[in-house]
């Protein structure tokens, strides 16, 4: 069985550490936001700033999928749950999913013979590409969870939710 050394866990740039930071930020967000329904219909601050910026540049607007803070809160919680519990639970509810793709590829390789040489030599490059992406996404999600928590504290403290 593979053991994780304490050196990698203490490295602030390790994947494990980045994952722990996001989960801690999401847990803090969840513990702080006692009444998530207060987040309904409250627009994200970044959304308003990005709309003004794109209007000035005459570029097409890219609307954020999260229309309000409540939807953003639910998204962050969902991602945290997927990280903690894995995708298997979600995939079991649907007949075909992301986990089926590698299995189908492995079965196809068994039928056709040995795997292509390009596939094996490309694995390291693919791994590093996805690892960089994962680091970037987890860092952004951590900042968003912290921002949502701080904004909730500001709004509740200032009574701005009462309209």
Query: pLDDT tens digits, residue range 136-145?
Result: 999 999 999 9
Q: What is the pLDDT of residues 56-115, one digit of tens each?
A: 544 444 444 547 899 999 999 999 999 999 877 666 666 554 445 454 455 555 555 555
Assigned domain for 3 exists: no
Q: Rounded to an integer, what is the distance from CA 15 to the centroid of its chain?
A: 13
**Domain contains 106:** yes
- Structural domain including 126 reads 12-158
Give this prediction's pTM: 0.65
pLDDT band at 162; cut points 50, 70, 90:
very low
Distance CA 100, CA 89 (A): 13
CB 68 within 8 A of CB 42: yes
Q: Rounded to whole angstroms, how far apart are CA atoms 90 and 47?
A: 30
In a domain, 2, yes or no: no
Percent with pLDDT over 70 in the chain: 56
DSSP label at residue 114: S
SS3 content of the chain, % helix, strand, coil (to 5): 70, 0, 30
Element spanning 45, H or E: helix 45-56
Q: How far apart are CA 50 and CA 56, in angstroms?
A: 10
């Amino acid at each position: 069985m593979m053991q994780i050394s304490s050196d990698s866990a203490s490295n602030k740039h390790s994947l494990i550490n980045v994952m722990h930071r996001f989960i801690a930020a999401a847990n803090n967000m969840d513990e702080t936001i006692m009444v998530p329904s207060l987040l309904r219909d409250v627009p994200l601050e970044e959304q308003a700033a990005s709309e003004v910026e794109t209007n000035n540049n005459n570029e097409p607007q890219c609307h954020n999928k999260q229309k309000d803070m409540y939807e953003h809160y639910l998204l962050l919680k969902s991602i945290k749950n997927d990280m903690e519990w894995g995708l298997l639970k979600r995939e079991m509810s649907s007949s075909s999913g992301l986990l089926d793709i590698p299995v189908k590829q492995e079965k196809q390789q068994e039928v056709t013979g040995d795997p292509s040489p390009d596939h094996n030599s490309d694995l390291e490059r693919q791994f590093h590409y996805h690892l960089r992406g994962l680091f970037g996404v987890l860092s952004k999600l951590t900042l968003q969870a912290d921002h949502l928590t701080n904004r909730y504290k500001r709004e509740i403290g200032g009574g701005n939710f009462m309209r």
